[in-house]
Amino acid sequence: MAETIRTLSLIIVLAPLLGAILAGLFGKVLGRKTSHRVTVLLMFVAFFAACWVWKLTVLDHGYLNSVLYIWGESGNFTFNIGFMIDQLTAWMMLLVTFVSLLVHIYSIGYMADDSGYQRFFSYVSLFTFSMLLLVTANNFLQLFIGWEGVGLVSYLLIGFWYTKEAAIFGSFKAFIVNRVGDFGFIIGIAAVMTYFGTLDYTTVFAKAPALAKAGTVLAVIPGAPWAVLTFICLALFIGAMGKSAQMPLHVWLPESMEGPTPISALIHAATMVTAGVFMVARLSPMFELSPTALSVVLVIGATGALFTGLVAFVQHDIKRVIAYSTLSQLGYMMAAMGVSAYAAGIFHLMMHGCFKALLFLAAGSVILGMHHEQDMRKMGGLRKYMPITYITFLIGALALSAIPPFAGYYSKDAIIEAVGAASNIPGSGYAYVCLVLGAFVTAFYIFRAFFLTFHGKERFSAEVKQHVKESPWVVWLPLVGLAIPSVFAGAILAYPLLYASPSWFGKSIFVAKGNNVLATLAEHYHGWFAYALHSVTTAPFWAAVIGIVSAWVLCLLVPSWRDVLVKRLSWIYFILVKKYGFDDFNQVVIAHGSKRFGEFCYRVADAKILDDWIINGSGRAVRFGASVVRRLQTGYLYHYVFVMILGLVVFVGWFELFETHSVLAEMLKSKYF
Amino acid sequence: MHFPLLSSLIWLPVIGGVITMMVGDDRRANVARWIAAIVAIIGLLLCIPLYANFSIHTSAMQFVEKITWIKAYGVNYSVGVDGISMPMIILTNITTLVVVFASWKTIRTKVAQYMAAFLIMQGMMNGVFAATDALLFYVFWEAMLIPIYLSIGIWGSSNRSYASIKFFMFTFFGSALMLIAILYLRIHTDSFAITSFYKLKMTMAVQIFVFIAFFLAFAVKVPMWPTHTWLPDAHTEAPAGGSVVLAALMLKMGVYGFLRFSLPIVPNACQHLYWFMIVLSLIAIVYIAYIAIAQTDMKRLIAYSSVAHMGFATLGCFMIYLIIQHTGNLKDAYMSLEGGMVQMLSHAFSTGALFVGIGILYDKLHTRMIGDLGGITAKMPVFASLMMLFAMANVGLPGTSGFVGEFMVILSAFQGSFWVAVIAATTVILSACYTLWMFKRVFFGGITNPQIETLTDIGFHDKVALGILAFMVLLIGIYPEVLLRVFHASVGHLLALAHVNKLP
Amino acid sequence: MIALSNYLILGAILFSLSIAGFVLNRRNVITLLMCVELMLLAVNMNFIAFSHYLNDIKGQVFVFFILTVAAAETAIGLAIVVLLYRNKKTIDVQELDSLKG
CB of B240 closer than 8 Å to CB of B360: yes
Within-domain flag for C10:
no
CA of C3 vs chain A CAs: smallest distance (Å): 7
The residue of chain A nearest to residue C27, with distances taken between CA atoms, is A638
Within-domain flag for C34:
yes
**What does the pLDDT look like over A46-91, one tens digit per residue?**
999 989 888 888 888 888 888 888 888 888 888 888 888 888 888 8
Q: Flag whether pLDDT at A224 surpasses 80.
A: no
Touching B (3+ Cβ pairs <8 A), the chains are A
Residue C66: its pLDDT value, please? 92
| For range B340-354, the mean pLDDT | 91
On whether both A597 and A527 belong to a single domain, the answer is no
On whether both A59 and A180 belong to a single domain, the answer is no
Residue A595: its pLDDT value, please? 85
* Cβ contact, residue pair B294, A187, below 8 Å: no
Cα-Cα end-to-end distance for chain C: 53
Hey, how many other C-beta atoms are within 10 angstroms of the C-beta on A113? 7
| For range B74-82, the mean pLDDT | 89
| Exposure letters A37-55 (e unless 16+ CB within 10 A, then b) | ebbbebbebbbbbbbbbbe
* Cβ contact, residue pair A606, B413, below 8 Å: no
**What does the pLDDT look like over B98-152, one tens digit per residue?**
998 888 888 888 888 888 899 999 999 999 999 999 999 999 999 988 888 888 8
Structural Rg of chain A based on CA atoms: 34
Higher pLDDT, A143 or A458: A143
CB of B401 closer than 8 Å to CB of B342: yes
Q: Tell me the helix, strand and coil percentages in chain C, rounded to 5.
A: 80, 0, 20
**What does the pLDDT look like over C11-65, one tens digit per residue?**
999 999 998 888 887 788 888 888 889 999 999 999 999 898 888 898 899 999 9
Rounded distance, CA B454 to CA C12, Å?
Answer: 84
Residues 6 or more apart whose Cβ sits within 8 Å of residue A651: none
Residues of B in contact with A183 (CB under 8 A): 425-426, 428-429
Residues of C in contact with A629 (CB under 8 A): 101
**What does the pLDDT look like over A615-672, one tens digit per residue?**
888 889 999 999 888 888 887 878 888 888 899 889 888 887 777 676 677 777 776 6
Higher pLDDT, B386 or B225: B386
Kindly state the DSSP code that residue A271 receives in the 8-state scheme: S
Residue A322: its pLDDT value, please? 87
Residue spans of alpha helices (H) in B24-155: 29-52, 85-106, 111-130, 134-143, 145-155
* Cβ contact, residue pair B398, A189, below 8 Å: no
Selecting from A629, A633, A645 the residue whose C-beta is nearest the C-beta of C99 gives A633
When the pLDDT of each residue in chain B is averaged and rounded to a whole number, the result is: 88
Residue spans of alpha helices (H) in A288-341: 291-311, 318-338
Q: Flag whether pLDDT at B338 surpasses 80.
A: yes
Within-domain flag for C7:
no
Last residue of a domain, one of A118, A138, A158: A138
**Length of chain C, in residues:** 101
One-letter amino acid of A252? W
* Cβ contact, residue pair B399, A144, below 8 Å: no
Within-domain flag for C8:
no
Rounded distance, CA B392 to CA B386, Å?
Answer: 10
Residue B282: its pLDDT value, please? 92
When the pLDDT of each residue in chain A is averaged and rounded to a whole number, the result is: 84
Selecting from C19, C25, C97 the residue whose C-beta is nearest the C-beta of A645 gives C19
**What does the pLDDT look like over A231-285, one tens digit per residue?**
889 899 998 888 888 888 888 888 888 888 888 888 888 888 888 889 998 888 8
One-letter amino acid of A387? P
On whether both A275 and A404 belong to a single domain, the answer is yes
Rounded distance, CA B141 to CA B217, Å?
Answer: 11
- pLDDT above 70 as % of chain B: 100
Q: Is C43 on the interface with A (CB under 8 A)?
A: no
| For range A150-156, the mean pLDDT | 90
| For range A510-526, the mean pLDDT | 77
Q: Flag whether pLDDT at A109 surpasses 60.
A: yes
**What does the pLDDT look like over A312-343, one tens digit per residue?**
888 888 888 888 888 888 888 888 888 888 88
Structural Rg of chain C based on CA atoms: 17
Residue A590: its pLDDT value, please? 81
Rounded distance, CA A487 to CA A410, Å?
Answer: 11
On whether both A257 and A215 belong to a single domain, the answer is yes
| For range A102-131, the mean pLDDT | 86
Q: Is A473 on the interface with C (CB under 8 A)?
A: no
Hey, where are the domains in chain B? 5-498
Question: Domain total for chain A?
Answer: 4
CB of B435 closer than 8 Å to CB of B391: yes
Rounded distance, CA A253 to CA A270, Å?
Answer: 13
Rounded distance, CA A361 to CA A342, Å?
Answer: 28
Question: Domain total for chain C?
Answer: 1
Residue B478 zone, left/alpha/beta (φ > 0; ψ -120 to 50; rest): alpha
Strand ranges (E), B317-420: none
CB of B134 closer than 8 Å to CB of B193: yes
Closest C-alpha among B427, B261, B269, B270 to residue B339: B427
**What does the pLDDT look like over B223-281, one tens digit per residue?**
888 888 888 888 888 888 888 988 888 889 999 999 999 889 998 898 888 899 999 99
| For range A281-309, the mean pLDDT | 87
Rounded distance, CA B194 to CA B476, Å?
Answer: 30
Q: How many CA atoms lie within 13 A of A558 on its CB side?
A: 7
Residue A461 zone, left/alpha/beta (φ > 0; ψ -120 to 50; rest): beta
Residues 6 or more apart whose Cβ sits within 8 Å of residue B209: B181
Residue B312 zone, left/alpha/beta (φ > 0; ψ -120 to 50; rest): alpha
Rounded distance, CA B477 to CA B393, Å?
Answer: 9
Q: At what angle do helices B29-52 and B85-106 cross, to 10 degrees?
A: 160
Residues of B in contact with A152 (CB under 8 A): 392, 397
Residue C101: its pLDDT value, please? 67
Residue C76: its pLDDT value, please? 93
Residues 6 or more apart whose Cβ sits within 8 Å of residue A220: A226, A231, B418
Residue A426: its pLDDT value, please? 82
Confidence band of A673 (pLDDT split at 50, 70, 90): low
Q: At what angle do helices B427-443 and B381-395 cross, to 10 degrees?
A: 170
| For range B296-304, the mean pLDDT | 90
Residues of C in contact with A673 (CB under 8 A): 3-5
On whether both A663 and A588 belong to a single domain, the answer is no
On whether both A217 and A307 belong to a single domain, the answer is yes
* Cβ contact, residue pair B428, A186, below 8 Å: yes
On whether both A551 and A592 belong to a single domain, the answer is no
Provide the residue range defining the domain that includes A58. 1-138
Residues of A in contact with C99 (CB under 8 A): 633, 635
Q: Is C26 on the interface with A (CB under 8 A)?
A: yes
Residues 6 or more apart whose Cβ sits within 8 Å of residue B262: B211, B214, B215, B218, B270
Residues of A in contact with C23 (CB under 8 A): 638, 641-642, 645
Rounded distance, CA A399 to CA A440, Å?
Answer: 14
Closest C-alpha among A39, A159, A157 to residue A101: A39
* Cβ contact, residue pair B444, A74, below 8 Å: no
| Exposure letters A513-523 (e unless 16+ CB within 10 A, then b) | eebbbbeebee
Residue A612: its pLDDT value, please? 83
Q: Flag whether pLDDT at B1 surpasses 70.
A: no
Provide the residue range defining the domain that includes C80. 28-90
**Length of chain A, in residues:** 673
Q: Flag whether pLDDT at A211 surpasses 70.
A: yes
Q: Flag whether pLDDT at B357 surpasses 60.
A: yes
The residue of chain A nearest to residue C94, with distances taken between CA atoms, is A636
On whether both A495 and A478 belong to a single domain, the answer is yes
**What does the pLDDT look like over B25-58, one tens digit per residue?**
778 888 888 888 999 999 999 989 888 888 888 8
